[in-house]
Structure 1
Amino acid sequence: MLDGALVRLAVAATAPFGADVLERLAARHDVAYLLTRPDRPKGRGRRLGPPPAKETAERLGIEVRQPERLEDFDPEEATVVLAAYGALIPEPVLDRALWLNVHPSLLPRWRGAAPIERALMAGDAETGTTIIKLVPELDAGPIAAQSAFAVGEEDDYASIAARTAELGVELLDGVLPEPAFMPQPSEGVTYAERRSGRTTACSTGAARRRSSSTASVPSRRTSARAPSCTGGRSRSGARASRKGSSCRSRCSRTGGGE
């Protein structure tokens, strides 16, 4: 950390992006445990397999907690950092700790499940990471920190995922253990739906696409493809993520975020 203070916290993560954040946090802070989703059937044999974040935690010797239901979950720690957990955190549980969400976009742009994919597909000139307080409304919590970087011609999903994860941990260094918050702007809210066979993007108005990037849309769509939750490492060695739900109806049930 910048001030040399070690903070004890818990991490809630499931998908590869969350696994990357977990590993980076564990190198800088005291991670008490990982909260992650239960093992799920995978592959052709449909055998139970651990989520990527669990694999990372076990490799690092971090305790893993996998409750089927969260209604009675006691965080125990004062702070929980959430990154691509993949499920709604019940409001009573939110009240039991400070929950900080590492969201890989410049909120309020690209709230929802696939902000990295959508930023690439829309041809955004810049993206970044936002640290927010987790609230019941999808990715609408007050902002503790935010930082942007330019999206280069050679950037793809993996490179952006790695950069936003590292930036998220750096931002946490600057705000822990007692962040100050400011409300999110009410203007410019858009929603990032997970990619499917047909590409769409939800927003509070119409779907928005940068006119200057229309020529690069096919290549953007290719570079925006996220790996599955069980595979893919970025060029920097960090696992990239795809966590899912679809826009407002399903994202609101999973807590949003990539």
Structure 2
Amino acid sequence: MPSTLRVGFAGTPDFAADILAALLASQHQVVCVFTQPDRPAGRGRKPQASPVKQLAERHQLPLYQPLTLRDEESRAPLAAATLDVLVVAAYGLILPTEVLELPRFGALNVHASLLPRWRGAAPIQRAIEHGDSESGVTIMQMDEGLDTGDMLLKKSVPIDATTTGGSLHDALAAAGAEAIVTALDEIAAQQQKIAGTAQPQQGVSYAAKLSKAEALLDFSGTASNLALRVRAFNPWPVCWAYAGNSTLRVWEASAEPSSDTAAPGTVLSADSNGIVVACAEGALRITRAQLPGTKPLSVKELLASPKRAEVLPQGSTLNAQEAH
């Protein structure tokens, strides 16, 4: 009969909930769950339970939401759980050495990149934004550094011209779920830590946290770079630009060559095939967008909607630099 590990889990968003679901479906026993405290969300700013909390409550798992794990009192449930291993996925809190040393086989992190590339908070989106041809997940033995621990297992996922932040998130969550169960099965079979590989010093990059402000499109850049950002920031924070006195959220767009010498931000055409905007190099063809009070629509639908008047006609300007 396969050995069963006593597993603690720490995570917060949807990505982490997918990992937790895989652990619950495995041969191993999830004995406690840690997640971030409820945060205000939505228009009403009401406290909202994280996806991990919702899943843990459905399975009636012991659940903890400390503000920190740096004091002995907050770590007490982990110490009492007599863990074989702690699995961490997008938790959002720094784990001190005292936590990492509690489980018999240490703490494993499910990180959504091929380390050492894209250490940090937003590896999924940064990979697309920078034109990477592949991403993946790394199962890492955690240490005190920021995603610096030894690598135990990697699983690659391709990025193509249709990949968005949302689709890559889902693919990596599935890959991470499979990979962490494989790693735990191997630990259980050997009853010891898996021998890891140290991360190379070459190729290290950092994935800074996303902000809404950086999703503002700057047409003085290249169309190809803007198209990458549109894909990377879908479904959050979603790229946008000023459209007259309104804002246009851009959900889908592609880059194309252009010999037009119009100033960056100039609308070159707006028809059922898209809104074509001049950039410093090339043009950005926006094919799916959203105005305030509408859902995301194809440009054909948007131009046929009552909100059409807010979409700038040919010769007008989408100006990311204008003060509003």
Are 2:202 and 1:192 aligned?
no
Greater RCO structure (CA 8 Å; 6+ sep): 1
> What amino acid does structure 2 have at the position aligned with 1:81?
V
Which deviations, in whole Å up to 9, do the C-alpha atoms of 1:218-248 show, x marking residues without a partner?
222122126569xxxxxxxxxxxxxxxxxxx
CA contact (8 A) 1:13 1:19 kept: yes
Identify the residue that residue 13 of structure 2 maps to in structure 1. Answer: 15
Identify the residue that residue 24 of structure 1 maps to in structure 2. Answer: 22
Q: Identity of paired residues, percent?
A: 38
Q: Map residues 139-218 of structure 1 onto 2, 5 A cutoff.
A: 139-176=147-184, 177=187, 178-196=193-211, 197-198=213-214, 216-218=224-226
CA contact (8 A) 1:145 1:175 kept: yes
| Distance apart, 1:68 and its partner CA | 2.7
Secondary structure, in 3 states, of the residue corresponding to 2:214? coil
Stretch moving more, 152-161 or 120-129: 152-161
Identify the residue that residue 119 of structure 1 maps to in structure 2. Answer: 127
> What amino acid does structure 2 have at the position aligned with 1:187?
Q
Counterparts of 1:137 and 1:217, CA distance in 2: 31
> What amino acid does structure 2 have at the position aligned with 1:95?
E
Stretch moving more, 217-226 or 152-161: 217-226
CA contact (8 A) 1:15 1:86 kept: no
Structure that is richer in strand per residue: 2
| Distance apart, 1:87 and its partner CA | 0.9
Counterparts of 1:228 and 1:151, CA distance in 2: 18
Identify the residue that residue 233 of structure 1 maps to in structure 2. Answer: none
Which deviations, in whole Å up to 9, do the C-alpha atoms of 1:26-54 show, x marking residues without a partner?
11232112111111222333322211210
CA contact (8 A) 1:123 1:216 kept: no
> What amino acid does structure 1 have at the position aligned with 2:204?
V
Stretch moving more, 56-65 or 73-82: 56-65
| Distance apart, 1:6 and its partner CA | 4.0
Secondary structure, in 3 states, of the residue corresponding to 1:148? strand
Identify the residue that residue 276 of structure 2 maps to in structure 1. Answer: none
Identify the residue that residue 85 of structure 1 maps to in structure 2. Answer: 91
Which runs of 5 or more residues in structure 2 are unaligned?
A: 188-192, 216-221, 238-324
Q: Map residues 240-251 of structure 1 onto 2, 5 A cutoff.
A: none
Counterparts of 1:19 and 1:226, CA distance in 2: 20
C-alpha change, 1:4 and 1:153, in structure 2 (3 Å) is: farther
Identify the residue that residue 228 of structure 2 maps to in structure 1. Answer: 220
The alignment of Structure 1 onto Structure 2 pairs a total of residues equal to: 213
Counterparts of 2:234 and 2:4, CA distance in 1: 33
> What amino acid does structure 2 have at the position aligned with 1:184?
Q
Which deviations, in whole Å up to 9, do the C-alpha atoms of 1:142-199 show, x marking residues without a partner?
1111121221222211221122122122222332223221111111000001223237
Counterparts of 1:40 and 1:123, CA distance in 2: 33
C-alpha change, 1:227 and 1:154, in structure 2 (3 Å) is: closer
Counterparts of 1:21 and 1:172, CA distance in 2: 8
> What amino acid does structure 2 have at the position aligned with 1:22?
L
The alignment's C-alpha RMSD in Å is: 2.2
Identify the residue that residue 260 of structure 2 maps to in structure 1. Answer: none
| Distance apart, 1:118 and its partner CA | 0.2
Which deviations, in whole Å up to 9, do the C-alpha atoms of 1:88-142 show, x marking residues without a partner?
1122121212110000000000000000000010110011000111111100011
Counterparts of 2:157 and 2:35, CA distance in 1: 29
Counterparts of 1:195 and 1:134, CA distance in 2: 23
| Distance apart, 1:81 and its partner CA | 0.6
2:100 to 70, 94, 98: 94
Secondary structure, in 3 states, of the residue corresponding to 2:135? strand
Q: Normalised by the size of structure 2, how large is the TM-score?
A: 0.61
Q: Which has the larger radius of gyration?
A: 2
Are 2:70 and 1:55 aligned?
no
> What amino acid does structure 1 have at the position aligned with 2:94?
L
Q: Normalised by the size of structure 1, how large is the TM-score?
A: 0.75
Which runs of 5 or more residues in structure 1 are unaligned?
A: 200-213, 230-258
